[in-house]
């Protein structure tokens, strides 16, 4: 009888483990989606790039930029969870990466402004269309240009662990996956809004949108470069 009772208790305890793991994963996933959504909703270079691409070329290229951003966000969040932030504590490496990222963003800004000028001058040809694959590459490069965000996600994981959200493999995986899903969701919404607005814009308004987006991206590049140099000082 005792043996039977002990076996029943053991079976019940073992059966509870998947439920606990599943609950932990779900809570971490929801927290990650919230964090990823909030991070992606903040106006920044990728935000501008996504909206501008969708406005100019349609939903699929705009969503592809968001997919690239979410992919790099997933990788950087995972690196933050695995302790990759320790590498960025090296001042020299952070300076090089920060300045390189600023240069990449500045290049994207100049390219966007150049597109606006070509449209205004009537020099854009019909074959100058950004495909989803090209937009995906742009999203990957643009988001990867700021690896210092690994430090941000590392801090997020520290905070999440302190309240029990990122404990264990299931919790960490839930946070990382949720961050990517949240980012992807926000960029999909931005692409939808941008594409809808783009269909109602004249070529002149599209050129103005490109110009504003390009200047905004270049401004963010300048801020990134300035902060990098300030951190070094």
Q: What percent of the chain has pLDDT over 70?
A: 75
Lowest mean pLDDT among 59-63, 74-78, 91-95: 91-95
Task: List C-alpha distances in Å: 197 to 81, 119, 154, 165, 201.
Answer: 38, 18, 37, 39, 7
What integer pLDDT is reported at residue 67 of this predicted model?
96
Find all residues with CB under 8 Å of 206, minimum gap 6, and list them. 55, 56, 119, 198
**Phi and psi at residue 225, to the nearest 5°:** -65, -40
Alpha-helical (H) ranges within 58-167 are 59-81, 91-121, 132-144, 149-162
Q: Where are the domains of the chain?
A: 23-96+126-201
Pairwise CA distance, residues 43 & 81, whole Å: 25
pLDDT at 120: 52
CA distance 195 to 214: 18
Structural element, H or E, at residue 201 = none
Q: How many contiguous H segments (helices) and E segments (strands) does the chain have?
A: 8, 0
Residue with tokens 């999203």: 139
Residue 225: count of CB within 10 angstroms of its CB: 18
> Is-contact 194 57, C-beta < 8 A?
no
CA 72/CA 183 separation, integer angstroms: 10
pLDDT on residue 5: 37
Least confident of 48-57, 133-142, 193-202, 222-231: 222-231
- Condensed to tens digits (0 to 9), the pLDDT of residues 96-120 reads 877 888 898 898 888 888 877 765 5
**Whether this model's pTM surpasses 0.85:** no
Task: Find the mean pLDDT for residues 201-230.
Answer: 86
């Amino acid at each position: 009888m005792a043996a039977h009772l002990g076996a029943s208790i053991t079976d019940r305890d073992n059966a509870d483990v998947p439920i606990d793991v599943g609950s932990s994963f779900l809570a971490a996933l929801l927290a990650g989606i919230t964090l990823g959504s909030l991070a992606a909703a903040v106006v920044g270079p990728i935000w501008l790039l996504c909206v501008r691409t969708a406005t100019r070329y349609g939903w699929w290229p705009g969503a592809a930029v968001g997919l690239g951003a979410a992919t790099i966000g997933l990788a950087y969040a995972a690196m933050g969870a695995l302790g990759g932030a320790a590498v960025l504590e090296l001042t020299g490496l952070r300076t090089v990466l920060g300045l390189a990222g600023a240069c990449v963003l500045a290049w994207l800004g100049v390219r966007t402004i150049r597109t606006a000028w070509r449209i205004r001058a009537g020099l854009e040809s019909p074959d100058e269309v950004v495909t989803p694959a090209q937009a995906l590459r742009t999203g990957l490069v643009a988001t990867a240009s700021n690896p210092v965000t690994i430090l941000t996600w590392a801090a997020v994981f520290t905070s999440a662990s302190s309240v029990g959200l990122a404990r264990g493999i299931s919790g960490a995986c839930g946070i990382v996956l949720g961050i990517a899903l949240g980012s992807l969701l926000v960029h999909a919404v931005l692409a939808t809004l941008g594409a809808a607005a783009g269909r109602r814009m004249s070529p002149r308004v599209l050129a103005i949108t490109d110009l504003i987006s390009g200047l905004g991206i270049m401004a963010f590049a300048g801020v990134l470069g300035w902060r990098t140099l300030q951190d070094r000082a």
